Amino acid sequence: MPAMNMIQALNHALDVMLARDPDVLIFGEDTGYFGGVFRVTDGLQAKHGLKRCFDAPISEGGIIATAIGMGAYGLRPVAEIQFADYILPAFDQLVSEAARLRYRSAGEFWAPITVRSPYGGGIFGGQTHSQSPEAIFAHITGLKTVIPSNPYDAKGLLIAAIEDDDPVVFLEPKRLYNGPFDGRHDQALKTWAGDPRAEVPEEHYTVPLGKAAIEREGADATVLAYGTMVHVAAAGIAESGVDAELIDLRSIVPLDIETIVASVRKTGRCVILHEASRFGGFGGELAALVQERCFYHLKSPIERVAGWDTPYPHAFEWDYFPGPARLAKALARCMER
Amino acid sequence: MSDPHGSAGGEGQAGRNLPPLRLHVPEPPARPGEAADFTHFDIPAAGAQPRPDETAQPGEMRDMAYGLVRVLDEEGRAAGPWDPRLPAETLLRMLRYMALTRAFDARMFRAQRQGKTSFYMKSTGEEAVSIGAALALSRDDMCFPSYRQQGILITRDWSIVDMMNQIYSNKGDRMKGRQLPIMYSAREAGFFSISGNLTTQYPQAVGWAMASAAKGDTRIAATWCGEGSTAEGDFHSACTFASVYRAPVIMNVVNNQWAISSFSGFAGAEATTFAARAVGYGIAGLRVDGNDVLAVYAATRWAADRARANAGPTLIEHFTYRVEGHSTSDDPSAYRSAEESSQWPLGDPIARLKQHCIAIGIWDEERHAAMDKELAEMVRDAAREAEKNGILGHGLHHPMESMFEDVFEEMPWHLKEQQQQMLDEWKAAGL
């Protein structure tokens, strides 16, 4: 099985789907001839033609709106928003239209669109190249939100998202594009080479939406994470010495509540880790769900480790980014109580 | 008080003796109690506009965006190169669909006043815009309407009982009571689901047209918005995408002079026409007498032929007047001259086609009166039929647990739980 980084795995997913389904088409800013600013669509136009993979005007609202119209026609468009920070001009189309089309038309029309967008920090991206907007989408009924953390899942989840008939916001942690990142920014960059999660089959396969993965089994605490934070969590758990179970949620909506509840009922402790700022973040929903369903099993208060409630700063990257040390401290607090 | 930014006319401006800047806030020509004034409109004679070839370059037909395509003159005669020369049978169908739309509106407006539903919006005075376009398009062309194109559904012979079921949110409502009245969806009639969010359907129509072109199909898309909502960003993105990809789409702006209480000046009408927006995008632009159903038909047919010939999109401004209030929640006497609708220089679309049909000897007053009576009875009977399925608030609606369906294709666990919780609470309350 070939080893792929996340960019290659995503590119492969798109290539597989373009070849497999004549109704799949890809467009976004710089996605055509140039192959995307992160190379995710590299070579696809040359291989599949101008009509299957093309460039779009710099208009996020227009990109999502035309994708919805294409979906209503019967195509299965995959639209790219260059950075998740720039998805907001398309917010009305995503919330008022894509998410509600099936509901408001009682199933006459629907929007089988996939919106791919690089997200997350840890790259000195400053305020508008680092944000994690998943909580905003999680609040929108009718949207699915999916976040992979490794090349194997990236390909399988992206294919599943494209094949899904509901609109899917597919957030790609750009910090993980070229290699895993555990938050230890002072250490040498890693690549995906040699990582078993980078062994990606060439053929079509899916990773189901709504199904979490247990990344590490443990007995004393449960850590809920997704995207880059899965790797940060693994490092933080190692640093803490706590035998924590690490769950990679993979899908924010639909959420794999069964896996989460089974784990917390077993461990009795829960720490939630995300890059997005804390107040109103998705961690709040996770904490509420765990509290409702695991109340009599909890041995300590649920902890949330998250970005601070500030815009994402440039110079203070590593003071903002919730690294492994902050998780280790939270785990230690849980164990002391 | 200190001003850190320096006050107006401060040191930097000293001695320059500039006049003070003035903010221009548009005001309509007439407010309540004042005489209606339409003298600022330049209304060219019927038949005066040239008819460019359907494949003309947008730049060659720039003047069309500033003129007004008119076919029917003041005596009801068809004139000029835009006369579509329709057979008598088609003219009478047009007349009937327009009259049916008006009768439907009248009945549903009354139903709202009687408390049978929460809301309604009439299209009085604008019937020609929907009916002329719908007859010029193929039935399998996809329409992306706003909320005032009920005439398209009526022209496509959609069941008016079905439309009423939607308005009553009753057990016959295919939208299952989820949508505000008049937010129809009729896929089989090529009528896209209406959204409350203005102009969102505009770039969606462009996307549909792009898809049709990408698949080598022959169907085209058409979309509608009011002049007020041309100010939305989606109008701009739609025009840009339509132009860039030469999408086979017709973009209609129904300029009925009013966006609720705001006159068209607040959408930019004091400076230019809405058809002229097309010029800047490199799109063919036509400005049409929206109360002249033959002109609307001819312009739509022209744009459809253009789209089908891969010659690109067309933007059509339909110059018309919103005769009634914006909706059942609106009282136009609070913001505009009461005389306006009677003073409107382009008249009434039904009266004008009726005059034409009489002038060419295919119609008369007696037949018209009989038709109006027949349509009123037909609409009354349809309303009675629909009311058997229930009216709003009288309990005859879809089961409440159906509100959780269709959020997603398959219901996720959290929706199933909430559905069950609602049913359990309902049972516990003994209901």
Is A16 part of a structural domain of the chain?
A: yes
Burial of B4 (0-12, 13-18, 19+ CB in 10 A): exposed
CA atoms within 13 A on the CB side of A52: 19
The answer to the question of residue A104 being in a domain is yes
β-partners of residue A28 are: A55, A80
Please say which residue of A176, A199, A222 terminates a domain: A199
Judged by CB atoms closer than 8 Å, whether chains meet at B144 and A51 is answered as no
Q: Which of A25, A109, A166 sits opposite B409 (nearest CB)?
A: A166
CA distances from B278 to A47, B239, B290 (A): 35, 8, 18
- Secondary structure (3-state) at A244: strand
Tell how far CA A170 is from the center of its chain: 6
pLDDT for B9 beyond 80: no
Is residue A137 less than 8 Å (CB to CB) from chain B? no
DSSP secondary structure string for all residues of A30-81: T-SSS--TTSTTTTHHHHH-TTTEEE--S-HHHHHHHHHHHHHHT-EEEEE-
Cα of B278 to nearest chain A Cα, Å: 17
The yes-or-no verdict on residue A84 having pLDDT over 90 is yes
On whether the CB atoms of residues A92 and B203 are closer than 8 A, the answer is no
Q: Do B238 and A65 touch (CB under 8 A)?
A: yes
Which are the contacts of A20, defined by CB distance < 8 A and separation ≥ 6?
A: A204
Chain B residue with the nearest C-alpha to that of A257: B413
> Is the pLDDT confidence value at A302 over 90?
yes
pLDDT of residue B8: 52
Between chains, do B207 and A70 touch, taking CB under 8 Å as contact? yes
B133-172 pLDDT per residue, tens: 999 999 999 999 999 999 999 999 999 999 999 999 999 9
What is the pLDDT averaged over residues B48-62? 96
Does residue B14 surpass a pLDDT of 80? no
CATH number (domain holding residue A143):
3.40.50.970
Check whether residue A81 and residue A161 sit in a common domain.
yes
Distance CA(B58)–CA(A244), nearest Å, equals 67
**Of chain B residues 126-155, which have a CB less than 8 A from chain A?**
142, 144
The residue whose two tokens read 């953390």 is A149
Written as one string, the DSSP assignment of A73-142 is HT-EEEEE-S-GGG-GGGHHIIIIIITTHHHHTTTSS----EEEEEE--SSS-GGGSS---HHHHHTSTT
Q: A325 with A186, same domain?
A: no
Q: SS3 helix, strand, coil % of chain A, rounded to 5?
A: 40, 20, 40
For residue A219, count other CB atoms closer than 10 A to its CB.
Answer: 12
Q: Is the model's pLDDT at B12 over the cut of 90?
A: no
B19 CA to centre of own chain: 43
Asked if A166 is an interface residue toward chain B (Cβ–Cβ < 8 A), one would say: yes
193-212 of B, contacting A, C-beta below 8 A: 193, 195-197, 200, 202-212
What whole-number distance in Å separates Cα of residue A221 and Cα of residue A138? Answer: 25
Q: Is the CB of A48 inside 8 Å of chain B's CB atoms? A: no
Q: What is the pLDDT of residues B358-389, one digit of tens each?
A: 999 999 999 999 999 999 999 999 999 999 99
pTM over 0.95: yes
Q: How far is A199 from chain B (nearest CA, A)?
A: 31
Beta bridge partner(s), residue B202: none
- DSSP lists the bridge partners of residue A173 as A119
- Average pLDDT (B256-263) is 97
Structure confidence at residue B211 (pLDDT):
98
Choose, from A129, A139, A297, A314, the residue flagged as catalytic: A129
Q: What is the pLDDT of residues B386-426, one digit of tens each?
A: 999 999 988 889 999 999 999 999 999 999 999 999 999 99
The answer to whether the CB atoms of A65 and B209 lie below 8 A apart is no
The answer to whether B408 contacts A104, with C-beta atoms less than 8 Å apart, is no
Report the topology of domain B58-329+338-387: Rossmann fold (3.40.50)
A292 touches chain B (CB under 8 A): no
Closest residue in chain B to residue A210, using alpha carbons only: B412
Q: Report the chain A residue with the minimal C-alpha distance to residue B175.
A: A106
Nearest residue to A64 (alpha-carbon basis) of A28, A100, A37: A28
pLDDT of the residue at B85: 98
Q: What is the CA radius of gyration of chain B?
A: 24
Percent of chain A scored above 70 by pLDDT?
Answer: 100
Residues of A in contact with B203 (CB under 8 A): 61-62, 65-66, 69, 93
- Which tens digit of pLDDT belongs to each residue from A145-190? 999 999 999 999 999 999 999 999 999 999 999 999 999 999 999 9
Q: Which of A174, A199, A224 is the last residue of a domain?
A: A199
What pLDDT is stored for residue A337 in this prediction? 77
The model's pLDDT over B323-366, given as tens digits with 9 standing for 90+, comes to 999 999 999 999 999 999 999 999 999 999 999 999 999 999 99
**Any CB–CB contact under 8 A between B192 and chain A?**
yes
How confident is the model over B296-328, as pLDDT tens digits? 999 999 999 999 999 999 999 999 999 999 999
Find the CB nearest B407 among A61, A69, A103: A103
* Domain shared by A18 and A148, yes or no: yes
Tokens describing residue A11: 């590119």
Which residues of chain A neighbour B208 with C-beta distances below 8 Å?
69-70, 72-73
Asked if residues A230 and A224 have their Cβ atoms less than 8 Å apart, the reply is: no
Same domain, A156 and A239: no
**Sign of the torsion formed by the C-alpha atoms of B396, B398, B404 and B406:** negative
The verdict on A140 and A251 lying in the same domain is: no
Strands in B142-144's sheet, in edge-to-edge order, are B142-144, B221-226, B249-255, B314-319, B284-289
The structural domains of chain B, with segments of one domain joined by +, span: 58-329+338-387, 399-431
Based on the domain organization, do A55 and A186 belong to the same domain? yes
Domain boundary among A161, A177, A199: A199
- Residue B16 binned pLDDT confidence (cut-offs 50, 70, 90): confident
Q: Are residues A27 and A109 in the same domain?
A: yes
Chain B residues 218-247 with a CB less than 8 Å from chain A = 221, 233-234, 236-238, 240-241, 244
Instruction: Measure Cα distances from A217 to A21, A144, A147, B204, B355 in Å.
Output: 38, 27, 21, 47, 83
Look at B200 and A97 and tell me if their CB atoms are within 8 Å: yes
pLDDT given at position B395: 83
Instruction: Supply B156's token pair.
Output: 């496509």
- A79 and A19 belong to one structural domain: yes
Nearest residue of A to residue B195, measured between CA atoms: A97
Question: pLDDT tens digits, residue range B58-102?
Answer: 999 999 999 999 999 999 999 999 999 999 999 999 999 999 999
pLDDT of residue B5: 52
> Does residue A205 belong to any structural domain of this protein?
no
Q: What pLDDT is recorded for position B1?
A: 43
ipTM: 0.97
- Calculate how close chain A gets to B365, using CA atoms only, in Å: 42
Q: Does any domain span residue A276?
A: yes
A-B contacts (CB, under 8 Å): 142
Q: For this structure, is A139 an active site residue?
A: no
B13 pLDDT above the threshold of 80: no
Of B192, B221, B234, the CB nearest to A109: B192
Looking at the structure, tell me whether residues A89 and A191 fall in a common domain. yes
Residues A187 and A246 occupy one common structural domain? no
Structural contact between residues A16 and A204, judged by C-beta atoms closer than 8 angstroms: yes
Percent of chain B's residues with pLDDT above 70: 97
| Contact criterion met (CB < 8 Å) for B407 and A74 | no
pLDDT > 70? residue B11: no
Nearest to A69 among B186, B187, B208 (CB): B208
d(CA A151, CA A9): 5
Largest CA distance in chain A: 60
pLDDT at A313 over 50: yes
Contact A71, A77 (CB under 8 A): yes
Residue A204 within any structural domain of the chain:
no
The range of the structural domain enclosing residue A218 comes to 213-336
Signed CA dihedral, B172, B174, B180, B186: sign only:
negative
CB contact under 8 A, A104 and B195: yes
> How does DSSP classify residue B78?
B
Pick from B150, B202, B176, B169: nearest CA to A108: B176
Question: Would you say B152 and B145 are in contact if contact means Cβ atoms under 8 Å apart?
Answer: yes
Q: What is the pLDDT of residues A35-70, one digit of tens each?
A: 999 999 999 999 999 999 999 999 999 999 999 999
Contact A69 B176 (CB under 8 A): no
Looking at the fold, whether A257 and A145 belong to one and the same domain comes out as no
CB-based contact B192 A142, cutoff 8 Å: no
Question: Are A217 and A139 contained in the same domain?
Answer: no
Phi, psi of B173, deg, nearest 5: -70, 115
Domain count, chain A: 2
